[in-house]
Amino acid sequence: MKEKLHFNSQTIHGGQHPDKAYGAVMPPIYQTSTYAQTTPGGHQGFEYSRTHNPTRKALENSLASIEGGNFGFAFGSGLAAMDAVLKLLQPGDEIISTNDLYGGSYRLFTKIFEGFGLKFHFVGMEDTANISRCITSNTKLIWVETPTNPMMNIIDIQAVAKIAKTHKILLAVDNTFASSYLQQPLTLGADIVMHSATKYLAGHSDVVLGALVVNDTDLAERIGFIQNASGAICGPMDSFLTLRGIKTLHVRMQRHCENAREIAHFLKNNPKIENVFWPGFEEHPNHQIAKSQMHDFGGMLSFVTKGGDYKAAIKIVERLQLFTLAESLGGVESLAGHPASMTHASIPKAEREKSGVVDALIRLSVGIEDVRDLIADLEQAIG
């Protein structure tokens, strides 16, 4: 077929072909480290599985397809994918990053890469003037996470891309919370899109995996070199599971979005809840941008208990029964988290509270169960 497929077909067919050996419709799990050569260099494109593996390759083709990009790369985790991006840089280079972001990303930036001479500026990117203010001749990368984890702020990718292009700075977007179904940063002007595929892409809480997708051939060569030279790749089994997850991404995301919408409204109307952070509310400060750059508002939301009551927040997460109290997100089952003590504990308290990550904040990853059961669970837990 010549025409470009629609997204809901790309998730299933994008970059995929029946396997050459026996016509297997799903790519086999090529559980091998190496490949026979007939003469030195005489092989079928695969020499050693750190460099290439057919199952990983099938996943990487799928990733490129669903992000509307040319080149996909799969890694052992989301953080391994980010690590590869940062290795494009040199000591002395500066990075401007979202100030509200996954705690592990902050830890990678400050505890690992600052030690290698990179300098990070964390700014609120809802106002792009905060980005422009930090740009120097050493700025080489802008790191955007949108929607942000866990405050659900939305950053205008096109506006940031314009700034990045003017100053010839690379723009990378962490697309984990939205998933490729809701938002495609490369089409909005980003140079690199990154995923913790552990979340919505794989979708079943059974794999840890990271992804990068780019359009530019030079950038792809440099990332491919780092992927092979540093070696933070994922294995064939995890590649297979992620590829299988992607095939239902669109149907899962529809239900995640529907359920989250109902729960956001339920929480908003609950007198024991002070504030609900969900970009679908018209009064959300970045609602218009969310509406223009995302197809829907996603399956994530967070909320604060009345009066910022920390003890009430802890009671709620302890009482939940259908929502599991756990790290991570984006799986078919609903999860609840307490960012201050879990996913964002590695950000100093004063720093995380600047972006609203207070002790009374609860984060929900709304799954695809029957929403009536989810609301009943929240009702009994909030009391």
Q: Looking at residues 166 to 205 of the shown chain, list those that interact with ligand P1T (rule: CB under 6 A).
A: 174, 176-177, 196, 198
Q: What's the closest the beta carbon of residue 362 comes to ligand P1T, in angstroms?
A: 13
174 given a catalytic annotation: yes
**Separation of alpha carbons 70 and 192, rounded Å:** 11
Given the residues 19, 50, 306, 310, select the one marked as catalytic.
50
16 versus 367: smaller Cβ distance to ligand P1T: 367
Min dist CB 101 to ligand P1T, Å, is 7
Which of these, 114, 122, 131, lies nearest to 98 by C-alpha position? 122
Q: Does 78 bind ligand P1T (CB under 6 A)?
A: yes
Does 270 engage in binding with ligand P1T (CB under 6 A)?
A: no
Q: Under the criterion CB under 6 A, does residue 47 sit at the interface with ligand P1T?
A: no
Other Cβ atoms closer than 10 A to 282: 7
Give 207 or 273: the residue with its C-beta nearer to ligand P1T. Answer: 207
Does the footprint of ligand P1T cover residue 343 (CB under 6 A)? yes
Q: How many residues lie near ligand P1T (CB under 6 A)?
A: 20
HEC readout, 314-364: HHHHHHCCCCEECCCCCCCCCEEECCCCCCCCCCCHHHHHHCCCCCCEEEE
79 binds ligand P1T (CB under 6 A): yes
Placement of tokens 């339920």 in the chain: 266
Question: How far apart (Å, rounded) are the C-alpha atoms in residues 332 and 351?
Answer: 32
Q: Report whether 5 contacts 13 (CB < 8 A).
A: yes
Contacting range for ligand P1T; rule: CB under 6 A; set: 77-85, 219-227, 252-260, 295-303: 77-85
Among 47, 114, 327, 379, binds ligand P1T (CB under 6 A): 327
Q: Establish if 60 lies at the interface with ligand P1T (CB under 6 A).
A: no
* Beta strands 335-337; 324-325: pairing state: parallel
Closest residue by Cα to residue 160 from 97, 118, 94: 97
- What residues does 141 pair with on adjacent strands? 95, 170
- In whole angstroms, how close is the CB of 177 to ligand P1T at the nearest point? 6
Sequence length of the chain is 383
> Which of the ranges 13-21, 75-83, 217-225, 227-235 carries the binding residues for ligand P1T, by CB under 6 A?
75-83
- Min. distance of Cβ 105 from ligand P1T in angstroms? 5
Q: With binding defined as CB under 6 A, does residue 98 bind ligand P1T?
A: no
Cβ-based nearer residue to ligand P1T, 127 or 327 = 327
Least Cβ distance, residue 3 to ligand P1T (angstroms): 33
Residue 199 is a catalytic residue: yes
216 belongs to the catalytic site? no
**206-240: buried (b, 16+ CB within 10 Å) or exposed (e) per residue?**
ebbbbbbbbbbeebbeebbebbeeeebbbbbebbb
Residue 50 annotated as catalytic = yes
- Give the up-direction half-sphere exposure of residue 370: CA atoms within 13 A in the CB hemisphere: 3
Choose among 13, 124, 136, 143: nearest CA to 66. Answer: 13
Question: Residue 256 in contact with residue 334, Cβ under 8 Å?
Answer: no
Catalytic member of 100, 174, 238, 359: 174
Residues taking part in catalysis: 50, 102, 174, 199
- In the complex, the residues that contact ligand P1T under the rule CB under 6 A are 77-79, 102, 104-105, 145, 149, 174, 176-177, 196, 198, 208, 210, 327-329, 337, 343
